[in-house]
Amino acid sequence: MSDSNRPRENPLKGKFKGFLDRLMGADRPRNERHGGSRSASAGVPEVAGEGRALNVMQGADVYLRDSTLYVAQKIEVHEQARRGQDHTLLVPQRPNSSALFTGREDTLERLKNHFAPHDEGDRCRKSFLLYGMGGIGKTQICLKFVEKMAGRFSHVFWIDASSEDTIDLGLKGLCSHPEAKAAGISVSSKSALLWIGSLSREWLLVFDNADGAPEVVEKFIPSGSKGNILVTSRNRSLGRVTSYESSLEIVQMAEEEAIALLLKASHLTGHSEDVYSTAQQIVNELCCLPLAVDQAGASIEAGLCSIDNYLEHLSRHRNKLMNHPSFRGASQYNRTVYETWDLSFNEIESRANKTSDGHGRAAAQAAILILETAAFLHHENIFEAAFRKAAMEISKGQHGRLEEKVETCINQLLQLEKDQSWNQFFFHEGIRVLISFSLIKQHSTSFGIYAIHPLMHQWSRDRMLLSQKKCMMQVSKLILVNCVTMEMTAESIAFKRLLVPHIKANYQSQEESGFKRVFDYDEYSRFSYVFHENGMWEDAEYFQYNIVEMRIRKQGPEHPDTLTSMGKLALMYSLQGRYQEAGELQLKVMGLVKRVLGAEHPDTLTSMNDLAFTYSKQGKYEESTQLELKVLDLRKRVLGLEHPHTLASMNNLAWTYSNQGKYDEAAQLQLKVVDLFKRVLGPEHPHTLTSMVNLARTYSEQGKYDEAAQLGLNVLDLRKRVLGPEHPDTLTSMNNLALTYSSQGKYDEAAQLQLKVVNLFKRVLGPEHPETLISMNNLAMRYSNQGKYEEAAQLGLKVLDLRTRVLGPEHPGTLTSMSNLALAYTNQGKYDEAAQLELKALDLRKRGKYEETAQLQLKILDLHKRVLGPEHPYTLTSMNNLASTYSIQGNHEEATKLSLKSLDMHTKVLGPEHSDTLTSMASLTTTHSVQYEEAEK
């Protein structure tokens, strides 16, 4: 009750009376509230703050003096107090910290250092803010700090700051404190603040759960420069009260701390490694959120479930477990995990429904729409640019007919200004409200990018009714669909890369909510395009397959659009290494397109080009070359020399030339293609980068290793920036660069890079994708270069088995693996020349090993001749390898004949100075040298 509402005799006497009178006249607290008194039962709102104990009156506080605890008895305040009766409120009490409190030592140390005793010359007030989402443990940290520092402060005042009323009530309760009563102060928050400010010794005033606006707490800061103030809040804007420098965001616990808390709360002592491992899985599923971990422990300890089946219960009954009323008391916290966040959402909802404050209502409505839309996106990297781009596209009105509720939400969320620009202010107001309740976080370095805690993200879906879920799922999907454009700039590609997790999260949440995935042609097509451009071909296949089904059903199997969709589906098969399926479908599509559209229609040429690509991947280079030459000739005539499709055909033809060992023809054509792509599409377009990669590969095959390395590094940097560090094309560039390093003799650098590539390919494309097998084959070669012959042989054998099964026994890649494995056997046959006594035995073992190698190499040579031709560089390499084996076996006559033939053909095909020619010469020299040494012996 305020002093100004009733006349009464001032009971203050002595010096303190004069002191208080001076303060009352000169230093009045700002914005003092005036009004009549009310009973304690009616004046305490039913609001439970974070970390507050059960059955403790709201606004409770503890008062410490010289380690002695003073607690006043509860005295009811009645309306008769207006007539001068001297009744008081209950002195607020501080709840005890949880007996299960675990970890947080860094934060406690930060608080201890901040509130360390003043120097003699430094008597200024110290303030600090702990902020973070609900359930993160702010209050428990604060309680533990107060307990640890009990001797540091003469007085500790604990105020429930969840509303202005609870602060006012808590401060009035302090007026009943024995020292306050002895000072003769009246019962008002103003008088309590004056009394606190007058204390000469060090005091600490705690405002717990100060989740309102900063100005609410500012009203109740004692005047003067003495004392210490500690605030806990979900709203980081309370940093305006303490200073932002004296603020700390409380984040999730460290994994070890969370596991310890779970095991304590579960009462699982002397646990096994299996229990620890299960606990680790649980805390990670709960994102190490203290309240969630504590409540999980309480449910396990109570027998609702065991630690072994908790995750199963959580997956099936997440809403019930996160909202179970039996565990509201966990960590002395009177709300479940979901109720904690419901409290914040309900406050936003009440603001959205208020009619008096138009600005506040609009901001709250925006906050709700953003939160509910984001519930069906990925919880990380929620970026404003997606909303802005979608708003601009949807405003064109090309999205078709929408349900009334969906259209209302879209129009409200994606507002435009009168000049049709993005209404950034409305969106930012909603974000501001969400941040103030710690329901969303701003990216630490990038403005306009936000994140939601994974558990909170799940809660935001769980709290919606089924009809609301369906509506907001549509809203989020519309935003995603309208973000996708067919631009191929570096900025656009990076933008689409950010969309990938959001598209996945959207259709996964549909299944999670029991909805059937339903998209129209445009949605399927755009999402397929996003996944295709990001090298996620299996996901792209899913959407493309559905498009084909829809088009066959609605337009028929021979409609041009159906055939285009079938061609794209076949390309997805080919990109995944499923060449047989791709080739069969592409042959069918090519025949239908020719008949329906004509032999020279651009779609027909596209189908021919795709089939040629698959032939090349299958190692059918002759068929591929014939088809590519035909496509190139037609595209030049129909589309023009500089059309991107024509340039793509030229690039493919050059790649096939290179595979055939026609390196000069390939290089000449590739140089032309690179220049044209740069001029037509730009230096960073993916097609330009592909042509540069192929040129670098040809340089390497020609022995121009420095040029190959320089160009390869340049392309790798560009692909990382434009396509992303894990795009399959980026990994191909890394693979080629490792090959060039090896050719330069940089075996360690090559092996390190190659091992990284293998692991990335396995994760991105799968362990049996042809590109993965190529990288594994190359790694085996790097091991051989380093002298790690055992590792080379083991990996080479594994690759050979996989390639034989995946690609077939006659595929060039399979033959290459066979050749490399033969080389590994040869390398393993090198014996220790110092062991003279075992020379004969070692030679016999060596000869036995090489008999096996020779048989394998003969088979490889025969297959190379038949599949690649007698003059292909790989065929010549096989001849050279077999000659080396003959030489080591002691079959010098055959070795010399084959070495001479190999050298002659290497000189003719590759030239006298090519590195492979020089290797062939060295092999012949070695054969003669060995023959001479044995004759001499």
DSSP letters, 193-255, are HHHHHH--S-EEEEEET--S-HHHHHTTPPSSS-SEEEEEES-GGGHHHH-GGGEEE--PPPH
Please measure the distance between the N-terminal and C-terminal CA atoms of the chain and give it in whole angstroms.
117
Token pair recorded at residue 360: 């506040």
Asked whether the predicted pLDDT for residue 601 surpasses 90, the reply is yes
Asked whether the predicted pLDDT for residue 519 surpasses 90, the reply is no
Determine the longest span between alpha carbons in the chain, in angstroms: 130
Token pair recorded at residue 790: 């055992």
154, 202 contact by CB (below 8 A): yes
Q: How far apart are CA 106 and CA 506, in angstroms?
A: 38
Q: How far apart are CA 667 and CA 673, in angstroms?
A: 10
Question: Which has the closest alpha carbon to 518: 569, 462, 474, 556?
Answer: 474
The three-class DSSP label of residue 58 is coil
Strand partners, 126: 228
Q: How far apart are CA 750 and CA 747, in angstroms?
A: 5
652, 677 contact by CB (below 8 A): no
609 to 439, 698, 729: CA distances (angstroms): 51, 21, 19
Question: Which has the closest alpha carbon to 798: 820, 765, 782?
Answer: 820
Instruction: State the average pLDDT over residues 393-408.
Output: 78
172, 192 contact by CB (below 8 A): yes
Instruction: State the average pLDDT over residues 88-116.
Output: 78
Asked whether the predicted pLDDT for residue 14 surpasses 60, the reply is no
Q: How far apart are CA 582 and CA 765, in angstroms?
A: 17
pLDDT band for 927, please (50, 70, 90 cuts).
low
Instruction: State the average pLDDT over residues 910-917.
Output: 80
DSSP string, 849-879: HHHHHHHHHHHHHHHHHHHH-TTSHHHHHHH
From the CB of residue 852, how many other CB atoms can be counted at a distance below 10 Å? 12
567, 607 contact by CB (below 8 A): yes
Residues contacting 830, CB < 8 A, separation 6+: 789
Name the more confident of 916 and 926. 916
Instruction: Please write the tens of the pLDDT for every residue from 837-846.
Output: 233 323 433 4
Instruction: Please write the tens of the pLDDT for every residue from 284-314.
Output: 888 888 888 888 888 888 777 888 888 888 8
For the chain, how many residues are written? 937
Question: With pLDDT > 70 as the criterion, what percentage of the chain qualifies?
Answer: 82
Name the more confident of 849 and 855. 855
602 to 220, 568, 589, 647, 654: CA distances (angstroms): 76, 14, 13, 14, 21
90 to 74, 149, 164, 173: CA distances (angstroms): 5, 25, 18, 5
Asked whether the predicted pLDDT for residue 833 surpasses 80, the reply is no
Q: b vs e for 641-672, b when ≥16 Cβ sit within 10 Å of the residue's Cβ?
A: eeebbbbbbbbbbbbbbbbbbbbeebbebbee
CA dihedral in degrees (572, 574, 578, 583; nearest 10)? 120
Asked whether the predicted pLDDT for residue 372 surpasses 90, the reply is yes
What does the mean pLDDT of the chain come to? 80
Q: How far apart are CA 74 and CA 91, in angstroms?
A: 8
Check residue 59 and give its pLDDT: 33
Sign of torsion, CA 675 680 685 691? negative
Question: Which has the closest alpha carbon to 761: 535, 541, 561?
Answer: 535
CA dihedral in degrees (170, 172, 173, 176; nearest 10)? 160
Residues contacting 594, CB < 8 A, separation 6+: 604
Token pair recorded at residue 561: 């659009």
Token pair recorded at residue 920: 């062939």
Amino acid at 673: V
Domain architecture of the chain: domains with CATH: 105-250 (3.40.50.300), 255-353 (no CATH), 359-397+404-518 (no CATH), 846-936 (1.25.40.10)
Question: With pLDDT > 90 as the criterion, what percentage of the chain qualifies?
Answer: 31
Q: Is 548 exposed, middle or buried (0-12, 13-18, 19+ CB in 10 A)?
A: buried
Residues contacting 67, CB < 8 A, separation 6+: 150, 151
290, 257 contact by CB (below 8 A): no
Instruction: State the average pLDDT over residues 29-52.
Output: 34
- The DSSP H or E segment spanning 449 is strand 449-451
